[in-house]
Amino acid sequence: MINADTKWFPCPLCLRPLDVRMTKRKKPYVICSLCGVQMFVRERAGIETLSKLVEQGIKADVLTRIGQLEQRYRLTCPDCTKPFWVNPELTGTNWLNGKVSGYRCPEKNCSGVVPTGQHS
């Protein structure tokens, strides 16, 4: 059974570890105050799945997921070779066709652009 003191489950949006709490009716739930996510697990099958995830693989799972996110959103500048995270504000525009052409390196004095095609 889930022990509310030591168990956590990641927020489905921001992956922050959240305390698994219990309702009065012994149904587990997590709340992420940052995202406003509330996840209640009401059915027995769901509760069993949740407690299995919490007990075993979930930590490894989250690490894998974060690793995938990192692969996907972490780019390396072709000019200065510094890594940076994808940020919509860094999007450069291709003036010829008005389409987004790539992500600009945030380093000062560097005009490196990673083409958007390079990550997907």
Q: Considering the rule CB under 5 A, would residue 80 count as an interface residue with Zn ion?
A: yes
Q: Concatenated DSSP letters for 40-62?
A: E--SHHHHHHHHHHHHTTHHHHH
What span, in angstroms and rounded, lies between the C-alpha atoms of 82 and 109?
13
| Closest to Zn ion by CB, 41 or 105 | 105
Binding string, residues 16-45; x marks residues near Zn ion by CB under 5 A: ----------------x-xx----------
Cβ 39 to Zn ion, closest distance in Å? 10
Amino acid making up residue 114:
V
Count of residues in contact with Zn ion, rule CB under 5 A: 13
Which residues neighbour 28 within 8 Å (Cβ) at sequence distance 6 or greater? Answer: 2, 4, 20, 21, 22, 40, 41, 47, 50, 51
Of residues 101 through 120, those in contact with Zn ion by CB under 5 A are: 105, 107, 110, 112
Amino acid making up residue 32:
C
Cβ 81 to Zn ion, closest distance in Å? 7
| Interacting residue ranges for Zn ion, rule: CB under 5 A | 11, 13-14, 32, 34-35, 77, 79-80, 105, 107, 110, 112
